[in-house]
Amino acid sequence: MKKALLSICLVFNSAAFAANPVFPEVFTADPAAMVHQDTVYLYTGHDVAKDNKTFFEMHDWLVFSSKDMLNWTEHGSKLAVKDFSWAKGDAWASHVIEKEGKFYWYVTARHAKINGFAIGVAVADSPLGPFKDARGTALITNDMTTDTDIDWDDIDPAVFIDDDQQAYIFWGNSKPRYAKLKPNMIELDGPIHAIDVPNFTEALWVHKKDKTYYLSYASGFPEKIAYATSDNVKGPWKYQGILNEVAGNSPTNHQAIIEFKGKSYFIYHTGASQNGGGEFRRTVAIDPLYYNEDGTIKRIQMTTEGITSAQ
């Protein structure tokens, strides 16, 4: 009996937990994660609204890294709106990707001279920077997309590099869009295309597993994360339904999906922090993501416990 009790304790102690929210001391939103070598780099927005009744207040982006998804190192703020001379505020969702040893950080910010939101890109030689504006101008501005009445339709960049090394940038609010990127990663290469998926709001993310391309996005409002699949990065996309329900206490959501050391992860934000969380005071959470045998994805189960090493 004594022996049995001891072995139960050992098993319990060997399962390390990374509870949600992952970083309880700092309000983080709009996660974008990248695996580089043996490390996960997590890039997030940074909610600094003093109370939860006004609107987003976001000035910079933060970086975290981990070698096991359980223990995280905080690297602090590595890019800010003030690093882009053409921008005047609102450090909204971003995305980082590596190509040929350079790290490109695509960001959303409000343009200082052209009405509306815009997308810019910074570049660095390391995933931790230092990052510098790669162009000195925005890559995408609101006047390049004139098919909506809103001025926040050019937000939430997500970049995907296909097996043939062609890079694509996806983005949008209300209207999902994509365009090819030139090999230099800092210029569009050709026209902007529309994407046909139902009930799209924002927060596109593209990933590939085996031969299937997955396009996930925030749907409706309050937002649920939905997804679609295709055998081509350019579509057409087959709608596959809801991947994640409305997250606690937050009408927005924004996901990153990665595979690391053979396991898949769903990284998102909620307003559920019991330390003053809410719509404009969000925190990043991580839960496991599981595929079905037919390649569809099981509905995410949002938890307080988060992931364990025994996942």
Please state, in angstroms and rounded to a whole number, the distance separating the CA atoms of residues 55 and 49.
7
Residue 59 beta carbon to ligand FUB: minimum distance, rounded to whole angstroms? 12
Are 160 and 207 in contact, with CB atoms under 8 Å apart?
Answer: yes
Residue 100 beta carbon to ligand FUB: minimum distance, rounded to whole angstroms? 28
Residue 28 beta carbon to ligand FUB: minimum distance, rounded to whole angstroms? 10
Question: Which residue, 45 or 176, is less far from ligand FUB as judged by CB?
Answer: 45
Question: Which residue, 45 or 127, is less far from ligand FUB as judged by CB?
Answer: 45
Which phi and psi (to 5°) does residue 5 adopt? -60, -45
The residues of the shown chain that bind ligand FUB, judged by CB under 6 A, are 29-30, 45, 56, 92-93, 108, 155-156, 202-203, 252, 254
Are 156 and 202 in contact, with CB atoms under 8 Å apart?
Answer: yes
Residue 276 beta carbon to ligand FUB: minimum distance, rounded to whole angstroms? 17
Please state, in angstroms and rounded to a whole number, the distance separating the CA atoms of residues 96 and 169.
11
Q: What is the CA radius of gyration of the chain?
A: 19
Question: Which residue, 93 or 123, is less far from ligand FUB as judged by CB?
Answer: 93
- What is the SS3 assignment for 235-289? CCCEEEEEEECCCCCCCCCCCEEEEECCEEEEEEEECCCCCCCECCECEEEEEEC
Question: Which residue, 70 or 250, is less far from ligand FUB as judged by CB?
Answer: 250
Which phi and psi (to 5°) does residue 2 adopt? -60, -45
Question: Which residue, 70 or 153, is less far from ligand FUB as judged by CB?
Answer: 153
Residue 293 beta carbon to ligand FUB: minimum distance, rounded to whole angstroms? 32
